[in-house]
Amino acid sequence: MESDNWRFRHLLAVQLGDLFSLFSDETVETELYPIFVKLLRDPVAEVRNGAAQQLGQILKRLKETNAPWRDEFVSELSEFASDDCFQVRLTYAFMCNHLVKLEESLFDGEVFEKDFLPQLVQLSSDKVTNIRRLVANCVTLLREKKGFGSQPDVKECVEVLQNDKDIDVLRTMGKNLELGITGWRHNGVSSGAERDQEVRGKLAAAS
């Protein structure tokens, strides 16, 4: 882990899901768990994202083995959502995105609702735009899953994000249709930068 070669760390990160399944419970807890958390905080984004993508497989393994430290693990991950470092909070949003993108047969709705959704609500008003964009993408996907569209926390996220001041967040939430396209068709505004300028003007007027 002391290697400066980020490609090596990335290679390790993307194999962690399989490694959690191959090794004994003791090795998973004492060796792989700490490595996973460390890689989630790696200075290189590719390494952090590679590790984050393994979370679904890791949670599945912990559930199957009824790992006694599973709640501690999830609690430690939850702290990422309120970390002072924006990259760590961004990694948490990326983990949530990965979980929501899992195939329906692999997505554990109960686990996500209990262990991840509250933090996602928190991040929907994060001061960093890129984090809110990831949350918007996650919420958009989450609304399509059975039982989540009417979930109060999801509705809260939607309400917050549909009142965001960032164009890309609004586009992801589908709000851009409300703000601009109808108006553009009637006022002759062209595509691209002029449309963005129009939306920015409306956002500024609304703030």
Confidence of residue 121 (pLDDT cuts 50, 70, 90): very high
Rounded mean pLDDT, 10-20? 96
Note the pLDDT of residue 89: 98
Q: What is the pLDDT of residues 159-201, one digit of tens each?
A: 999 999 999 999 999 864 444 443 334 334 445 555 566 656 6
Q: Burial letters for 28-50: b for 16+ Cβ neighbours within 10 Å, e otherwise?
A: bbeebbebbeebbebeeeebbbb
More confident residue, 182 or 103: 103
Burial class (CB in 10 A: 0-12, 13-18, 19+), 80: buried
Q: What is the pLDDT of residues 109-118, one digit of tens each?
A: 999 999 999 9
Confidence of residue 204 (pLDDT cuts 50, 70, 90): low
Note the pLDDT of residue 181: 44
Among candidates 166, 187, 184, 185, which has minimal Cα distance to 175? Answer: 166
Enumerate the domain spans of the chain: 1-68
Query: In whole angstroms, what separates CA 159 from the centre of its chain?
Result: 18
Model's pTM, two decimal places?
0.82
Structure tokens at 55: 């979370």
The CATH class given to the 1-68 domain equals mainly alpha
Confidence of residue 149 (pLDDT cuts 50, 70, 90): confident
